[in-house]
Structure 1
Amino acid sequence: MKRWFRQRVDSAYERLLSREISGAPTHVAVIQDGNRRYARSQGDDAHEGHRAGAETTERVLEWCQDIGVEELTLYTFSTENFDRPDGQNEALFDLLCEKLHDFADADRVHDNEVCIRAIGETDLLPGRVQDAVAYAERRTRHYDQFVLNIALAYGGRSRLLEATRGVAADVEAGDLEPEDIDIEDIERRLYDRPLRDVDLIIRPAGEERTSNFLPWHANGNEAAVFFCTPYWPEFSKADFLRGIRTYEHRQESWRRTRARRALALLGALSEPELAEARSIVDRFRDSLPSAERPESGDLEAGEFETGDSSRRIAD
């Protein structure tokens, strides 16, 4: 009876969260944390925790597709994980091979045109894992409706370091001038194929840090971050939707801040800058509380309010 009641409550909460969500981030990144701790809590070994976590991963992939997410990146195996006991890693490598083959052959992957890619120092992985990665990438390379990135032997700092070394080598060889270095030069060297900027990072299991995960694409984009307490195998759809809601609140706060800044600066701008500022205020006006929201006619006439005062822009 108690379990039935909890399921009813959870189902109702999911429906409530679904109604509150009006959009979806383009790129979600997940740190799949807590598999081993979950296994210990169940009296199992680490391998069973990873297997249970893999089932959660499949559900999250479906949830992302259901709400319109276009790219999902999973932090699956970091460079630091090589320091774990060989027995644990070998069992995980076997599971990775199994799941990569399963994903590459799954009807839902092909029906939804999911492109599977591995990012990281995959040449450090055992040959059987490299073969499984190559198989999954080859089977799904021509798809572009949804991208599933699997971070394997991954370290964010090491990727940035390699990209920097590549730029330095090109400068030394005379193929690139220092003043011509731009964002695209770095991004081209980070991964074989481009990643979208990260909009939301999700980390379960109670840790409140992003652990060197996609620093260029997440920190540079000021991604929203959602921390929650369930271990990854326990991560529910309600937890996922709460993460999406965190992203929406972050976006709404960003739009409100942009509108307020533009509105406050209108009085100090010269005429050539006014059109751009008015455009920003007009674009994000609906994100402001009604008491702060100017009318379009006021913007065109040069009249607006900031705080308690009313001002007129001199033409």
Structure 2
Amino acid sequence: MKRWLRQRVDDAYEQLLSREISGAPTHVAVIQDGNRRYARQQGDDAPQGHRDGAKTTERVLEWCQDVGVEELTLYTFSTENFDRPDEENEELFDLLCEKLHEFADADRVHDNEVRIRAIGAVERLPERVRDAVEYADRRTQEYDRFVLNIALAYGGRSQLLEAVQGVADDVDAGTLEPDEIDVETIENRLYERPVRDVDLIIRTGGDERTSNFLPWHANGNEAAVFFCTPYWPEFSKTDFLRGIRTYESREESWRRTRARRAMALLGAVGDTELTEAQSVVERFRDSLPTAEQPDPDELDGVDASQLENVDSSGRAAN
């Protein structure tokens, strides 16, 4: 009876969260932690924990598509994982091969035009895994409605180091001038194909750290982070929706902060900065509590030309 009642409560809470969510992040990155601890808790070995976790991965892919997420990155195998016992890694590599082929051939992947690709030092992986990666990439290369990134042999710090070394080599060779180096210069050297900025990082398993995961795309974008205690095989749709709600709260807080800063600038800056501040307040006025909202008459005179310094997301240009 208790299990039945708990399920009813969980279902009701999931429905409530679904109704509360009004938007979704574009790019969600997930640290799938806790497979091995879950297996030990169940009296199983680590490979069984990875298999149970793979089922959760399939469900999360569906949940992302349900709420409107456009890109999902899964931290599947880090560079540090090479230090684990060979027999455990070999079974995990077998599972990766199996799932990559399964995903690449699945009707739901092709019906939803899911692009599957790997990021990381894939060349360090066994040949059978590299072949599976290439197969999934080739089978889905024409799609772009949804992107699924599998982070394999991945380490964010090493990726950044390699990108910077590439820039230094180009400068040394005379093919790149120092004053030409910008954000795009680094991004083009991080991955073979573009990765969107991360809006939300989810980590399961109870640890509250991001473990060197997508530092350029997450930290630079001030991504929201949601830590939760369930091990990855236990991760539920309710947990997922709570993560989405964390992102929405983070975005709303950012909008309020932006509007308040702009309000504070209105009486203390020159004409150029004043125009920008007025534009920001106009766009984000509804994010402020009613008592803090300025009178619309105070913002009269802001025409379309004055909005040129604010991009489509509402962030003022530097």
TM-score range, shorter chain: over 0.9
Q: Superposition pairs for residues 37-76 of structure 1, below 5 Å? A: 37-76=37-76
Which amino acid is the alignment partner of residue 177 of structure 1?
A: E
Q: Are residues 1:18 and 2:15 paired?
A: no
Offset of residue 2 of structure 1: 1.5
Offset of residue 196 of structure 1: 0.3
Q: Give the structure 2 partner of residue 305 of structure 1.
A: none
Q: For the structure 1 residues 121 and 301, does the alpha-carbon distance in structure 2 shift closer, same or farther, using more than 3 Å as the test?
A: closer
Q: Superposition pairs for residues 150-169 of structure 1, below 5 Å? A: 150-169=150-169
Contact 2:265 2:274 in 1 (8 A): no
CA distance in 2, matches of 1:270, 1:178: 33
CA distances 1:54-88 after superposition (whole Å, capped 9, x unpaired):
00000000000000000000000000000000010
Q: Which moved more, 1:184-193 or 1:265-274?
A: 265-274
Q: Give the structure 2 partner of residue 210 of structure 1.
A: 210
CA distance in 2, matches of 1:203, 1:212: 12
Secondary structure, counterpart of 2:266 in structure 1:
helix
Which amino acid is the alignment partner of residue 203 of structure 1?
A: R
Secondary structure, counterpart of 2:115 in structure 1:
strand
CA distance in 1, matches of 2:180, 2:301: 43
Q: Are residues 1:117 and 2:117 paired?
A: yes
Which amino acid is the alignment partner of residue 148 of structure 1?
A: L
Contact 2:27 2:70 in 1 (8 A): yes
Q: Superposition pairs for residues 83-102 of structure 1, below 5 Å? A: 83-102=83-102
Q: Superposition pairs for residues 179-218 of structure 1, below 5 Å? A: 179-218=179-218
CA distance in 2, matches of 1:110, 1:137: 13
Secondary structure, counterpart of 1:298 in structure 2:
helix
Offset of residue 301 of structure 1: 7.3
CA distance in 1, matches of 2:218, 2:297: 38
CA distance in 2, matches of 1:253, 1:214: 23
Q: TM-score, normalised by structure 2?
A: 0.94
CA distance in 2, matches of 1:175, 1:169: 9
Q: Superposition pairs for residues 217-256 of structure 1, below 5 Å? A: 217-256=217-256
How many equivalent residue pairs?
Answer: 302
User: Percent same amino acid at aligned positions?
Assistant: 79
CA distances 1:20-67 after superposition (whole Å, capped 9, x unpaired):
110000000000000000000000000110000000000000000000
CA distances 1:96-147 after superposition (whole Å, capped 9, x unpaired):
0000000000000000000001000000000000000000000001100000
CA distances 1:204-243 after superposition (whole Å, capped 9, x unpaired):
1100000000000000000000000000000000000000
Q: Give the structure 2 partner of residue 310 of structure 1.
A: none
Which amino acid is the alignment partner of residue 143 of structure 1?
A: Y
Unaligned runs of 5+ in 1: 303-315
CA distance in 2, matches of 1:170, 1:178: 10
Q: Give the structure 1 partner of residue 127 of structure 2.
A: 127
CA distances 1:176-214 after superposition (whole Å, capped 9, x unpaired):
011110011100000000000000000011000000000
CA distance in 2, matches of 1:121, 1:257: 39
Q: Give the structure 2 partner of residue 280 of structure 1.
A: 280
Q: Give the structure 1 partner of residue 312 of structure 2.
A: none
Q: TM-score, normalised by structure 1?
A: 0.95
CA distance in 2, matches of 1:46, 1:204: 17
Which amino acid is the alignment partner of residue 100 of structure 1?
A: L
Which amino acid is the alignment partner of residue 255 of structure 2?
A: R
Which amino acid is the alignment partner of residue 291 of structure 2?
A: A
Contact 2:56 2:232 in 1 (8 A): yes
